[in-house]
Amino acid sequence: MPSFHHTVHFWLKPDLTDIQRADFLAAAKAIADSPNVATCRVGVPAGTDRPVVDNSYDLQLHCVFASQADHDAYQSPDDQVHTNFINTYKSFWTRVLIHDSIDA
């Protein structure tokens, strides 16, 4: 069964304090605590200077799930880690862009 990849790019509000940004980063890393997530990483733009690279986002969350069913469970209200993250921090971002994929 192919793995399911969920990549989320966040553009944060420019007026967030350093403490709010640190809280958001810690909360994004804690997404790994979801029982539905196999692996999770959090990154920031590498600043790669190439025309095809978008460095405009503030934070990238990349979660891997063992199956689409695990991803779907993560998206449900029953996944308190994910639900609490959204409810607590949705006011911190101005834009979210998500790419979902499965192993080819």
State mean pLDDT over 67-80.
97
pLDDT at 76 over 90: yes
User: 56: helix, coil or strand?
Assistant: coil
pLDDT of residue 1: 79
- pLDDT confidence of 103, banded at 50, 70, 90? very high
pLDDT of residue 35: 97
State mean pLDDT over 44-55.
96
- pLDDT confidence of 104, banded at 50, 70, 90? very high
% of residues, the chain, pLDDT over 70: 100
Q: How buried is 7 (Cβ within 10 angstroms: 0-12 exposed, 13-18 middle, 19+ buried)?
A: middle
The tokens for 62 are 């990349």
Q: What is the pLDDT of residues 12-49, one digit of tens each?
A: 999 999 999 999 999 999 999 999 999 999 999 999 99
Identify the H or E element spanning 85: helix 80-89
pLDDT at 9 over 90: yes
